[in-house]
Amino acid sequence: MRRLVGTLRARLLLSHLAVVSIGAVVLLLASNRLGSVFVDSHFRSMGSMVSGPNRMEAVDIEGAVRTEFNRALLWAVLISGVVAMAAAGFAAARLLRPLGEIRRVAQRLATGSYGERVPIPRESELAELAGDVNALAEALEETEQRRLRLVSEVAHELRTPVATLKGYMEGLLDGVFSPDEETLAAAIRETTRIERLASDLSTLSRTEEGQIDLDLTAFDLALLVREVAERLRSQFDDNGVGLTVESAASAPVSADHDRLTQVLTNLVGNALAYTPPGGHVVVRTSTHGNFARVSVSDDGRGLDKDQLSLVFERFYRADRSTGGGTGIGLTIARGLARLHGGDITVVSPGLGEGSTFTLTVLLAHRRE
């Protein structure tokens, strides 16, 4: 009984019935009060004009009028109650139908059917609720698509090193390869590649979920840029690529030193990977408004319009012939930059015309 009365439909019906009941009581009291005054005065005037048997007849008429008047009020109350209950039932049906749709879609979403959507009702409040549920469904669907894509991408990335490692192991068992230093080194390279991929995936997952705890310290970003560039300069020299570091002023930031080192190493390393021998990379540090900026410009292969929109996607590599990377370095770098309140953007005039990646980080006095 308590469960039945606790339903929204029952509450709507009871509320309408309560309104009608209160109105009926008020109407009966007011009608009896006003009716008594009107009838008494009317029949009092009639009684003054009649006498004898006619006076008794007037009293009988007064009683009959009162009875009919009360009967009419009772019928009016009953009819009003029926109409109110019918209106309540209609209103409840109009309200509960879209709520039932929302419940059905929510149950389907819970089972993994993320393509379900709620029809938008005409009532503005319910339309807002339905819109919120649809927005949730879209977010869940996008998350599921990303999960499936990630599983597929990870499987694809693991396939090559695992197959290569399996080939070496089978070759060793079959006597095709001898267990010399070269064979073992090749096997270790593939194992290291798998280990690096697993580490990068872990970092990527924690970055996207905001689960990385930043160890914020105060330092000069311009100085860190020079340190990273000098650490990589020998690789530039080995590849015949020039490296220039320009810094107009200091850029004080409050950030995670190791994470920004990781970001800068990725940006400068990518520029080296996609710049041919004889090319040049320029790293500039500056401040603009509330942000410190580090731009890494190269005159290498560049990016076309489609690649500009894909370069930060997981496992995307503009030129797979360069090899080596996992294809998620830029994704991680951008995620780390955003955790610092900044971002990474890229521009390129087109293929063969180089590209510029720009890191922005909130200045220290603005973070406070």
Q: Quick check: is 284 in a domain?
A: yes
Q: Which of 184, 208, 232 is the last residue of a domain?
A: 208
- Closest alpha carbon to 43 in 25, 24, 69, 74: 69
Q: Do residues 289 and 218 make contact, with C-beta atoms less than 8 angstroms apart?
A: no
Query: Confidence class of residue 204 from pLDDT cuts 50, 70 and 90?
Result: confident
Q: Do residues 243 and 228 make contact, with C-beta atoms less than 8 angstroms apart?
A: no
pLDDT of the residue at 8: 56
Q: What is the mean pLDDT of the chain?
A: 77
Domains: count for the chain = 3
**106 and 16 within one domain:** yes
Q: Which of 89, 111, 133 is the last residue of a domain?
A: 111
Q: Which residue has the higher pLDDT, 266 or 100?
A: 266
**176 and 231 within one domain:** no
What residue numbers bound the domain in which 229 lies? Answer: 216-367
pLDDT of the residue at 35: 57
pLDDT of the residue at 50: 47
Q: Which residue has the higher pLDDT, 329 or 216?
A: 216
Say if residue 266's pLDDT is above 70. Answer: yes
**197 and 284 within one domain:** no
Q: Which amino acid is at 126?
A: L
Q: Do residues 348 and 263 make contact, with C-beta atoms less than 8 angstroms apart?
A: no
**165 and 284 within one domain:** no
Q: pLDDT for 98-140, tens place per residue? A: 778 888 888 888 888 888 888 888 777 778 888 888 898 888 8
Q: Do residues 130 and 98 make contact, with C-beta atoms less than 8 angstroms apart?
A: yes
**95 and 31 within one domain:** yes
Which percentage of the chain shows pLDDT scores above 90?
Answer: 20
- Partnered with residue 292 across adjacent β-strands are 287, 361
pLDDT of the residue at 32: 62
Q: Do residues 226 and 247 make contact, with C-beta atoms less than 8 angstroms apart?
A: yes
Q: Quick check: is 119 in a domain?
A: no
Say if residue 6's pLDDT is above 70. Answer: no
Q: Quick check: is 63 in a domain?
A: yes
Which percentage of the chain shows pLDDT scores above 70?
Answer: 70
**297 and 230 within one domain:** yes
Q: pLDDT for 140-189, tens place per residue? A: 888 788 777 767 767 776 777 788 888 888 888 888 778 888 878 888 88
**333 and 241 within one domain:** yes
**359 and 277 within one domain:** yes
Q: Quick check: is 168 in a domain?
A: yes
Q: pLDDT for 64-109, tens place per residue? A: 666 766 676 677 667 766 776 777 667 667 777 777 888 888 888 8
CA distance 316 to 153: 10
CA distance 250 to 33: 90
**30 and 163 within one domain:** no
Q: Quick check: is 131 in a domain?
A: no
Residues 6+ apart with CB under 8 A from 271: 281, 296, 297, 298, 300, 357
CATH number of the domain at 275, please: 3.30.565.10
Say if residue 44's pLDDT is above 60. Answer: no
Q: Which of 208, 227, 243 is the last residue of a domain?
A: 208
**150 and 105 within one domain:** no
* Secondary structure of the chain as H, E, C letters: CHHHHCCHHHHHHHHHHHHHHHHHHHHHHHHHHHHHHHHHHHHHHHHHHCCCHHHHHHHHHHHHHHHHHHHHHHHHHHHHHHHHHHHHHHHHHHHHHHHHHHHHHHHHHHCCCCCCCCCCCCCHHHHHHHHHHHHHHHHHHHHHHHHHHHHHHHHHHHHHHHHHHHHHHHHHHHCCCCCCHHHHHHHHHHHHHHHHHHHHHHHHHHHHCCCCCCCEEEEEHHHHHHHHHHHHHHHHHHHCCEEEEEECCCCEEEEEHHHHHHHHHHHHHHHHHCCCCCCEEEEEEEEECCEEEEEEEECCCCCCHHHHHHCCCCCCCCCHHHCCCCCCHHHHHHHHHHHCCCEEEEECCCCCCCEEEEEEEEEHHHHC
CATH number of the domain at 201, please: 1.10.287.130
Q: Quick check: is 330 in a domain?
A: yes
Residues 6+ apart with CB under 8 A from 119: 98, 101, 130
Q: Quick check: is 82 in a domain?
A: yes
Q: Quick check: is 230 in a domain?
A: yes
**224 and 203 within one domain:** no
**157 and 74 within one domain:** no
Q: How many CA atoms lie within 13 A of 272 on its CB side?
A: 22
Q: Do residues 358 and 345 make contact, with C-beta atoms less than 8 angstroms apart?
A: yes
